[in-house]
Chains A and B, each alone.
Chain A
């Protein structure tokens, strides 16, 4: 009984946050769509679902998201191995650098990709501009880091003994991977794959920009219906489709994620130097690095070229307030604002994410309790799969009555960012928590530790590395989040992605160059912060 009370206590705040800042706004928007001219009209909504363009949009979303997820996993697994099980010079830097795509606003990534892929660009010969191929490339570019980081964190803390025993029994390396390592990694792979799928399914900047307006996904349809036509009925119908699809996906993923009970103490392998047999994994990683680096290099080159020559002029402009006080704040100041907001969002998503992870990974006695936990787990994934447009407008429409009059609150941006980062945190931490032997907790309990202290003494130390991985994720996501927050109040304190977006929207080669320079700075700062976070050694919390 005490245990249940403690769990409920831990879950209360995250659930409240989710309810107020997600469930209420989204259902508010969806509910509006059901009302035509003031009265309840569900038939109209269902009608929309039968339309041809809706079916095409759903199919397009499903196949592009599935393909992009498959490619991300195929490339991400070898890269996770190379970057988290092997140690070589520059490995740490690469790990951090792979998170850079996360923080770049879609508008800049769109520019970088199109510079590469358009007819006259360096990769123009591929003929990918305006095709689904470009969209897939963009999706993989953004999301492969999710797979690498989550799987890498799990791989790092995997017990090495079954694999060593299998090798000694005569299994060659690939056989060991297939029969011993993969079953143990599967939960992390499935977790990250489901997050990637949701990210891809809710992408709209990428689909619009790289697809040349020729393709529509469920998300772009919602965006166009809501922002262009204010057709809330249509948008509601599609939002419901999204919710249903997300639920189905989560149920499937939960089934596939089930893992056998873990054994006692772990023996974790230190990363080792690469051997010849690691060549394939290293080759795939190198390929991936090149693919990710190309668009970034385009930005860098673009920021250094001024009037046909090389120059740092664009970078100098970053520090100045701009001619005629055009930009409200100098670019470097908005970088500081971005970092501040992202740190706040990161702290929030880590705290909430850790609480939720601790709750949903408890082994409960009765089936009913287990189901409650499973539902809770799925609930927190929803923000990823539901349209940022619906959420953004929903926040405006519903949070307007005291004591919930938050819609103009400056911290709403951090909360929205945290909601998007939260599922990533949970998906990174939960698989590792599931792998902790319950007997350790039982031992702690018998020594007099209450549920909270047990969690802190047994679970949290094991979580050190995954926590850092999650922190890096959360920070990068918050830093680059643009979708939901573009609907929220940002009085006079624009974040750097917003400033970049504004600069790109102005004529004049100066503004373009400065936008690219700002993007390079944003990318570099992110990589640096993530690198520092990765280096942190969380001190042992065992001394209580």
Chain B
């Protein structure tokens, strides 16, 4: 008899746990839906919670693309109150699906650029590349690694850079498809993610790979300092601008708190913390940058862009073409 009771109890645990499932956001909870690169100092968050009287609950997983898709699939009946992390390449998809209540606000920006290993080029007595066109030159054969546009957000950004480049070289016989074919003919390696490209294949990455040219971020020079100088450089005119947005979700349980949160993201304290915690630049002009960034990070003079609506419209086609070129 005892045995039966024990067994039934064991089986019932899941059900009992289910009864204690989460309650919808009350007036003093704020649920943030974001991607897994979300990080802000605990002190700042504690400050926000104290000043606003809200408890912040963070739902963070996936990358910007997965985040966008989650929001789109749950539009109208959202997972939380406010979202942070949809970027300009996905904004069109999010807004046309009615994810936001009102228009989203830009919070930070970063640039995906072609970086190179200064030390390697010096040691091999080779002048580093100075433009996108250079990357197809024979002297840079087998030296570059990039992430795939279909599986990586910097990869997608680089593809968009090469598409936007067409505007820069107006008049010349340039198509991004031909450019990619030339890159591949020049020994370009395509990895599935930034970790692989940077950590494993890049010569300045943790794994000390073989490729001294990598598609990464303009803030990377701040992370490879030796004897007061940066070992990583940025190839000019290869940068694609990425902007991250925050916005109140349509159908949120706590829209007031959500608006407060978005406002708080633009406050000086948060903007100042962005580079150190999320490796991005503050969007508010005049915000002081951390020492290493101020000294070593390279802010490009010119940034390539493609309008969000255009990206949304052509994304499928561009990706399919890119996939058939690279496979």
Contacts and interface: CB of A to CB of B under 8 A. Distances in A.
B192 A501 contact: no
Interface residue tally on A, bucketed by range: 35 or more
B58 A491 contact: yes
B324 to A, nearest CB: 9
Contact of A490 (B10, B60, B192): B60
Interface string A436-457: 0000000000000000110010
Contacts of A324: 41, 276-277
14 contacts: A13-B12, A120-B209, A212-B192, A213-B150, A214-B326, A214-B327, A216-B327, A231-B316, A348-B14, A405-B22, A405-B24, A408-B59, A506-B279, A544-B3
B241 to A, nearest CB: 19
Contacts of A226: 69
Interface stretch (A107-115, A270-278, A376-384): A107-115
A227 B61 CA distance: 13
B37 interface: yes
Interface string A404-430: 011111110001000000000000000
Nearest to A411: B17
Given A400-B74, A504-B195, A487 B66 contact: yes
Interface in B181-210: 189-196, 198-201, 205-207, 209-210
B116 to A, nearest CB: 14
Contact of A453 (B3, B60, B220, B276): B3
A406 B198 contact: no
A114 B202 CA distance: 12
A393 interface: yes
Contact of A114 (B11, B36, B66, B196): B196
Interface residues of B, number: 71
B307 interface: no
A230 B70 CA distance: 10
Contacts, number: 176
A118 interface: yes
A491 B13 contact: no
Interface string B68-108: 01101110010100000000000001000000000000000
B57 to A, nearest CB: 5
A211 to B, nearest CB: 8
B148 interface: yes
A228 B319 contact: yes
Q: Does more than half of chain A's interface fall in helix, strand or loop, or is it mixed? A: helix
B189 A13 contact: no
A429 B17 CA distance: 26
Interface of A: 13, 17, 107, 110-111, 114-115, 118-120, 208-209, 212-214, 216, 224, 226-231, 302, 324-328, 347-348, 351-352, 355, 393, 396-397, 400, 405-411, 415, 452-453, 456, 486-492, 498, 501-502, 504-509, 511-513, 516, 544
A214 B323 CA distance: 9
B217 interface: yes
Nearest to B21: A409
Given A114-B200, A348-B13, A400-B74, A512 B205 contact: yes
B39 interface: yes
B285 interface: no
- Minimum-distance CB pairs A-B, first 9: A512-B206, A208-B192, A507-B223, A504-B195, A213-B148, A325-B41, A120-B210, A508-B223, A13-B11
